[in-house]
Amino acid sequence: MASLSSAATVCAAASFEHAAVSIADIHGKVPRSFRHEFHGRPVASVRLTGSGRHSKSLPGPISFSLQPHVVASTSSSSTSSSAMTGSVPASDGGDAPFRQMSPEEHWQWGTPPRLIGNWHGQWRSWKPFESRDEIRSMKSVRKFWATSPDLSTFSQINDWYDYQGEVAKKQPTVGVQWDMSLAEHSLPDGFCHVFNLNARRYDVSRKVDAIWAPLEVADGEGGIQLPLLVEFFFSHTPTSRLGSVIGFEADGAFRASVVVEESLDTNERRPADWVWPTWGPGGVSTRMPDHLPPVPALDDKTMVGTRTILTRNLMVQERENVSWAEEWSTNSAAAAAAIAAFAGEAAGEAASAGETADGSSARPTAVDVAAAGAGFMGRVPEGDEDRYAVFALPQGVVVCAPRSLQLVAGRRFVLSVSWVVGEGEVKRITATWGADGGYERVEGERYTRQG
């Protein structure tokens, strides 16, 4: 599920199993004040406060008091990324310097007044390695409102409904009021999630493109902890945005979702036959496309855009007039060659959705090879292209992710979502973790045809 919406959004749906504070905790099975630890690392001091009732199961509102000076995740020991130093790695290109962004500026990137309101969402999920058919869906109304004239504090309430498919019960945050503030939640290492102290929001454009991502993913035993779910959000118009939640669930299965939201003036649930203002009747398709969306040629010099890099400790690099031909196609030729060779090894083998000898969940397909040629693997670490797969989702969304977590354990890896808005507009957001499992940075790219 970013921006103001990222301030407390689909992590409740996608990553709640990973939350630092459980429903049982809130019911009083832990002291009202405690110090949270994530795999032995102190993260923050937390205070729960409640008054009134906003649901049958939880006291509310709920507010978390976070003390930035005890946040260990900003220390150099938790990550080995060169991006943390503020230097510009050679692969970044250009000579635009990195600069230090303050938590206050980061807050302003993600909380413009136009995002205050009632947002209606349609959420659809697939398990691409297993089937192109939808596995579950739901709808939501999420209300955001300012609680101070200067927008330094705001609150949120979620309402989830119309569950279909693999959804055992309603999301546990229905009807719970979340209170957030600049002073307590905008930290030196990102915006801290209300229900998951290991998660941060990072805004990668002044247009409110953003992600929610876990700071630490190592399981302490040489692997990657589950679930690993990351939320990507793209702004579209002042009243609409699109998002995608991708990653690996608690059982290790890869899941990809599309989230479509429109801002309306009412907080009422929409009827089943409601026509979505931006996406039309029925909203998002229930089936994954068989082909990737068309993109401009890699040598198309009329496609120009911006690229923003934001590191874990809020070092930011902003570049303008970035060439599609130079940036989008990065290492795509190597990716195409690696994947084609990998696919060739599987020639003659029966198609299978089960585990393969290399630990991946499926052999590459023609779509994978085409994706590499189209540049959808552009930020995959060089030489690791055959460890990744690419999938097309409805609405022009394309996902690039490891074929399995076993293939990237102990290695630098990425999760990436591209959105082909149309023939002349493409966007991409890529999140990167280091070999030690520490979050490193996010890159946001936006390209449009000029002239």
Radius of gyration of the chain (CA): 21
Please tell me the predicted confidence (pLDDT) of residue 249: 86
Amino acid occupying residue 53: R
- Which backbone phi and psi does 439 adopt, to 5 degrees? -60, 135
N-term to C-term CA, the chain: 33
Please tell me the predicted confidence (pLDDT) of residue 246: 94
Stretches in the chain below the pLDDT threshold 50: 1-91, 346-362
Please tell me the predicted confidence (pLDDT) of residue 104: 93
The encoded tokens of residue 139 equal 């709808």
Please tell me the predicted confidence (pLDDT) of residue 112: 64
Please tell me the predicted confidence (pLDDT) of residue 37: 33
Please tell me the predicted confidence (pLDDT) of residue 261: 78
Q: What are the pLDDT digits (tens) for 252-294? A: 889 888 887 777 667 788 877 776 666 665 556 788 988 888 8
Sign of the CA dihedral running 328, 112, 72, 226: negative
Q: Is 274 exposed, middle or buried (0-12, 13-18, 19+ CB in 10 A)?
A: middle
Q: What are the pLDDT digits (tens) for 299-331? A: 888 999 999 999 999 999 999 999 988 888 666
Please tell me the predicted confidence (pLDDT) of residue 167: 65
pTM for the model: 0.78
Please tell me the predicted confidence (pLDDT) of residue 207: 73
The encoded tokens of residue 390 equal 């690419």
Query: Cα 311 to chain center, whole Å?
Result: 15
Please tell me the predicted confidence (pLDDT) of residue 435: 95
Amino acid occupying residue 73: S
